[in-house]
Structure 1
């Protein structure tokens, strides 16, 4: 059907010349080493990695280097990617999506040939939701693809390839049409309607809870080790986030995800006709509340979506885009795929990522014949463990991005062994007080505005409720806050915990934040428990 070539060469050609309709397959040694099917057995294998967020942010119009750690050192071994991924995950949560909490204290449910029920409890709060199941022909247990939102996915091909379809209504978990300070759905029942976490992370959390229930079900109907996720348009945004934040997902397939999905944030303001970041942030609370500070200056973001693509590596990824609808930002999407493919290549899994925007039909979320074969190949390889991955880049000439314009970094050759001497541990934090609580603030300042992140730490005894008091610099005004209730917008402001983050175990911390105009530097917050 198309000429096959090594992915490294294909990516380089596309990046330099904006070439189109290029197919790529991994080097033969990648196939031989069996890296093509790789899903982790846990939701987050980097949970033990220490991550210290940067104290301040700097503006850079080029894409951040996915291979440079927060401390400035560069990766030298593949084994370092686990904790580098943990850094990218934390940056993405803090500045883009909001936090995706881990598995709640209680997750129960049932799996049948027609339905999945999910019951969750955390901190005295409970919620439930369900999803439909359609099995393929044959005998189970079956792999399954979670279809978010119910449209745009080629469910007939998914089932014909041998996978079940799980029909997941994300609006039961995170409802659209709600204000940011009063979000609704199962996720916000547990974590509070004022949670700063956006809908995309909430929807991804719902996919993870479905996988929890499948894992607990005994595997008579569905396989817990072979789950994919897909969705189109806003639900493509959700599929992209779900695959990035849960390493148990073996195959991620976002379709026409647009702004707040795969396309790089830095590219969208300059891509004619694409949905502006302010629109994507304001249309629905898809993105985390903190992202509001970056809608007009994405160059200040310490992370971009090519690194979110990298979070999925080395697992299966098939990105499908539509170059005929300018609003979808497919040029910026191709740059994200090309940049993320560099991570796949460095990990020796270049054949595990595919991208296809070279389609004839311009209808949004149509079921396209061009995608049918690579979709089937992806399911068979990453969920059934048979055949070969499509390993193809087909970029439309209508929306061809050029990675060379967006990066100053080069892809390292990573060794297979352990890294050379590990970087020094971060300096120890100041010891907590004997009792009560302390508060520290970090400020991201730009011309005319700032975002402050405040960390509240309990002392030697647990804290049940807290109030942080800070005096704003003259002329500063708070325009938005999250994870705390504030008493005022100027002058001396008292921030009080919201319902779900008032209880802090001894020595542990929680964070809240606020956005303001003017200057935020120089604040010295104080904390009182109770």
Structure 2
């Protein structure tokens, strides 16, 4: 049967490839059962319209020769590279799409979004992996659903009901890859429905409604998850019963304005002998509202066993003709009715689209029906709801919807297209003012999954307030409170913040079962956390306090997210910010609330990213990229509006570079829900939570003797990377094991990492959007989080953290130091291409060095290559800017020109350019490099070892006598792409974070007499003394805060008599940096700054 051009391939299988296939199948049957057949077509049959029938012939032969049945062994056929991905044979997919209509029990595996390897024919390795996963997902679905039998359809018709019998298999839903007629497993463990009202079902995106006048004569149970719902109904002479589940908008768009079409899949069974009275319907049901109120039905069956007009069916309507859709003829009946409706009692239009032959399972193209109605003169309004319905007027019986799904999207396209309808979120009454009191029960309108997240739809509250929703509101506190909460549940509130600043928040809360824990978010950014101990019972409330991060003035969405179970929340009281405190950066784009004294350049910070609140750069849009053939200016704002001249703006410019590298090169470091850490037996253990997924990091750390505080070194795959551990003898040595995050692949083909790597299991849908250097740098930051938690146990100095590594681990150290500002010293040894090297220069040097064309695309996003390999001048940054992200902190790089692959000329160009950033701040002693050979890879030369010791002694141990102005290279060639014309720039530091705290205005009328003195000595390194004087007896508090406003110590809290006083306290466990202390004496407030060295 084969074409002549395939004869040579045939010979490689002994002249009979089919025979070899049968032989292999029989071998497999000796040890197992064949559950499916997978086929992926290449380009050789492109354009052959008879290909599906030829496949069918081979498939049937194979079934016969192996003794298999089609019903038991599905055929899965994969698409080729699509045309929109540059596929040369993409047109073949329209032929492949005909397979399910040609071969029973067959499925098409989508190649949507999967790119080729550069030849426009074959998938890239990453795309092949994703395609394989799609085969596996479909096969698992088929295997899972076969367990329930095949009683609801199939090609031979389903089990009969009434006198008509089932109508057979309508065809699978390509959107989810599920054939609804194979979904024959009944619901178990459903929830009992409430009579009356509409109710959201957890986070499923679906809403249910049950209504009856019959009390105990009817019931409904339901169950739903994303992409699937089920329900059962029972009745015995009810006075009407309506049971329905689907999508609910309230006020939604018109059908034609949806982002895609409405679709429904279903499979149901009617109980033997069931009847439904004079009128009854099974099918789609819903309403549209203003400007046209329409009640609509798509009737697939009735309890008469026929859909023909009889008794009370389609009452007071007249026929508007027929149309063909979903494989059958539908007759359209339209009438006008006056009575109860979604707007009360009104006159509205009724539409019945009635299928000529009944069916128990299949697919309904809802939007296509609606378009037919409009052709016949029915004008629909805004969507109110769209649900699958069982409705009876009386009678007795049962109904079992075994599978239902309603979604917005395409009928084909791969992956479940379930979309929660766009419910408008709005304040319960009006936006809550801050400062002011937020009553917990006044959460926004918008429903479950939109304005709140409640794990079950049952309302257990006893306050009888907002009972149509799942949030449990109880009597308690100052009136009502939100109760019966579970971890990960949340509530949202529209708030209007009067003034930019940090707010003190008082939370009135209780928990009679365990600890209290919840977080506050503004526009999904964490701004405060609350924790408290168990209360004696739920009726005993306690006030917890916290201070938010800076919140900007204006309207926001505030989220309360519970992190423990059984919290009751009464209210949150927001107190106006102290206007004498820090007011944020003084630069053009603001450097955040960090206070920095004039001329002081921090060696490290207390946060991972000081620019986290800054805006994303315009360069994340490909249309905004401009050509730059030489190294881009690191001082210039991404939109070209000017250059950074104020140090207070550097945090935002640095964040622009960070976002560019994340967006184009490695992927964005993801957020997490919770992190826990412990230290025991010399092992640091960090556990990170993302929803129900977890990842655990462990590090066997080495703690030096003595009381500390001890600096920290994090070594990439070793206690101290590739440098001698003797240099770090006074440090806590913390090895980072990269395989606890993602496996390392040394090859250049991108075949190493796996979705089973811990990071990609923690974030399961990020395999194609986050690369290894994103994952690894994220993991190092989580180790630092853990060190912060256990710092007191190990006497850690968090102000002096170093990271170091060599080769691929040198890149790892570079990304770790660049992306986490808590790192004081970064040592990147022989990091090569993708590390310190400028991509532009590597490209100019050619293929002998690691560049965009030949690096490892496990490490970097594959899109980075496709976007910039042929137009590297459009790259909006280069790696001199990755290095620059470390400024003003300390950085040291080593190269080794004996190894051509390292491309040290590209590294040298990048270092020369990055040096300009440290020079602009006048802190060149924090920047160094030594590029010289004469030693093995990752074995430092004498000069490199000396430089390492000097940087470690100065920036970890505080020895300012060390000479760190070390910048030497045996490579001096400068390529054209490594040139720049923006050198000599200056950045001025006149102080950030508002006025210096020593200049704050006294708030008391006694300010001229009460006094707070500067600490002595200042700077302090072991202990220091504060003097203060009072004009009268007072209760005095003196608290110490770090540079970002976090309280780190209470120095005084007692009654003091009038007169002079001195307090001496220890600072030896505090990290080096700037602090401020605040005294409050009966309303007199004064502050001073101090330095710990």
| TM-score w.r.t. length of structure 2 | 0.34
1:156 corresponds to 2:725: yes
Q: Which moved more, 1:229-238 or 1:182-191?
A: 182-191
Aligned partner of 1:168 in structure 2 is 736
How far off is 1:337 after superposition? 1.2
How many Å separate the matches in 2 of 1:366 and 1:230? 13
Matches within 5 A, 1:3-18: none
Q: Is the 8 A contact 1:39 1:249 kept in 2?
A: yes
How far off is 1:36 after superposition? 6.8
Matches within 5 A, 1:43-122: 43-54=608-619, 55=621, 56=623, 57-72=625-640, 73-102=642-671, 104-112=672-680, 114-122=682-690
Distance 1:325 1:145, change over 3 A: same
Residues 259-289 of structure 1 deviation map (CA, whole Å, 9 limit, x = unaligned): 111100101022253123222134xx11133
How many Å separate the matches in 2 of 1:257 and 1:199? 15
Matches within 5 A, 1:404-443: 406-417=979-990
Residues 208-228 of structure 1 deviation map (CA, whole Å, 9 limit, x = unaligned): 001101101143313222211
Aligned partner of 1:330 in structure 2 is 904
Aligned partner of 1:142 in structure 2 is 710
Matches within 5 A, 1:151-230: 153-160=722-729, 162-177=730-745, 179=751, 182-192=754-764, 194-221=767-794, 222-230=796-804
How far off is 1:108 after superposition? 1.0
How many Å separate the matches in 2 of 1:197 and 1:124? 20
Q: Is the 8 A contact 1:232 1:257 kept in 2?
A: yes
Q: Which moved more, 1:371-380 or 1:170-179?
A: 170-179
Aligned partner of 1:41 in structure 2 is 606
Name stretches of at least 5 consecutive residues in structure 1 with no aligned partner.
1-32, 420-530
Distance 1:352 1:358, change over 3 A: same
Q: Is the 8 A contact 1:132 1:167 kept in 2?
A: yes
1:358 corresponds to 2:932: yes
Distance 1:343 1:117, change over 3 A: same
How far off is 1:169 after superposition? 1.0
Residues 146-187 of structure 1 deviation map (CA, whole Å, 9 limit, x = unaligned): 111238522323333x22221111121022347589444332
Aligned partner of 2:947 in structure 1 is 374
How many Å separate the matches in 1 of 2:771 and 2:822? 22
Aligned partner of 2:206 in structure 1 is none
How far off is 1:341 after superposition? 1.0
Aligned partner of 1:231 in structure 2 is 805
Residues 368-409 of structure 1 deviation map (CA, whole Å, 9 limit, x = unaligned): 332222212212222222234543344333454479952132
How many Å separate the matches in 1 of 2:832 and 2:874? 21
How many Å separate the matches in 2 of 1:325 and 1:260? 15
How many Å separate the matches in 2 of 1:207 and 1:195? 21
How far off is 1:367 after superposition? 3.9
What SS does the corresponding residue of 1:165 show, helix, strand or coil? Answer: strand
What SS does the corresponding residue of 2:957 show, helix, strand or coil? Answer: coil
Q: Which moved more, 1:332-341 or 1:174-183?
A: 174-183
What SS does the corresponding residue of 2:626 show, helix, strand or coil? Answer: coil
Aligned partner of 1:422 in structure 2 is none
Distance 1:113 1:153, change over 3 A: farther
Q: Is the 8 A contact 2:690 2:762 kept in 1?
A: yes
Aligned partner of 1:295 in structure 2 is 869
Q: Is the 8 A contact 2:908 2:971 kept in 1?
A: no
What SS does the corresponding residue of 2:840 show, helix, strand or coil? Answer: coil
Distance 1:389 1:97, change over 3 A: farther
How many Å separate the matches in 2 of 1:403 and 1:149? 36
Distance 1:165 1:359, change over 3 A: farther
Q: Is the 8 A contact 1:152 1:367 kept in 2?
A: no
What SS does the corresponding residue of 2:651 show, helix, strand or coil? Answer: helix
Aligned partner of 2:851 in structure 1 is 276
What SS does the corresponding residue of 1:220 show, helix, strand or coil? Answer: helix
How many Å separate the matches in 1 of 2:791 and 2:985? 42
Which runs of 4 or more aligned residues in structure 1 lie more than 6 Å from their structure 2 counterparts after TM superposition?
A: none
Aligned partner of 1:126 in structure 2 is 694
Q: Is the 8 A contact 2:881 2:914 kept in 1?
A: yes
Q: Is the 8 A contact 1:111 1:213 kept in 2?
A: no
How many Å separate the matches in 1 of 2:973 and 2:706? 41
Q: Is the 8 A contact 1:115 1:133 kept in 2?
A: yes
Aligned partner of 2:814 in structure 1 is 240
Q: Is the 8 A contact 2:918 2:927 kept in 1?
A: yes
Distance 1:365 1:152, change over 3 A: farther
Matches within 5 A, 1:312-351: 312-351=886-925
How many Å separate the matches in 1 of 2:823 and 2:810? 15
Distance 1:37 1:58, change over 3 A: closer
Q: Is the 8 A contact 2:740 2:758 kept in 1?
A: yes
How many Å separate the matches in 2 of 1:405 and 1:411? 16
Question: More helix by proportion, 1 or 2?
Answer: 1
Residues 460-504 of structure 1 deviation map (CA, whole Å, 9 limit, x = unaligned): xxxxxxxxxxxxxxxxxxxxxxxxxxxxxxxxxxxxxxxxxxxxx
Residues 417-455 of structure 1 deviation map (CA, whole Å, 9 limit, x = unaligned): 489xxxxxxxxxxxxxxxxxxxxxxxxxxxxxxxxxxxx
Residues 339-379 of structure 1 deviation map (CA, whole Å, 9 limit, x = unaligned): 11111111222211111113432x11114332222212212
Q: Is the 8 A contact 1:377 1:387 kept in 2?
A: no
Q: Which moved more, 1:299-308 or 1:180-189?
A: 180-189
Q: Is the 8 A contact 1:229 1:249 kept in 2?
A: yes
Q: Is the 8 A contact 1:146 1:168 kept in 2?
A: yes
How far off is 1:229 after superposition? 0.4
If you compute each CA radius of gyration, which structure gives the higher value, 1 or 2?
A: 2
How far off is 1:48 after superposition? 1.0
How many Å separate the matches in 2 of 1:134 and 1:398? 38
| TM-score w.r.t. length of structure 1 | 0.67
How many Å separate the matches in 1 of 2:845 and 2:701? 39
Aligned partner of 2:958 in structure 1 is 385
How far off is 1:110 after superposition? 1.9
How many Å separate the matches in 2 of 1:386 and 1:195? 45
Q: Is the 8 A contact 1:377 1:388 kept in 2?
A: no
How many Å separate the matches in 2 of 1:133 and 1:418? 38
Q: Is the 8 A contact 1:319 1:355 kept in 2?
A: yes
What SS does the corresponding residue of 1:392 show, helix, strand or coil? Answer: coil
Question: More strand by proportion, 1 or 2?
Answer: 2
Q: Is the 8 A contact 1:132 1:166 kept in 2?
A: yes
Q: Is the 8 A contact 2:841 2:975 kept in 1?
A: no
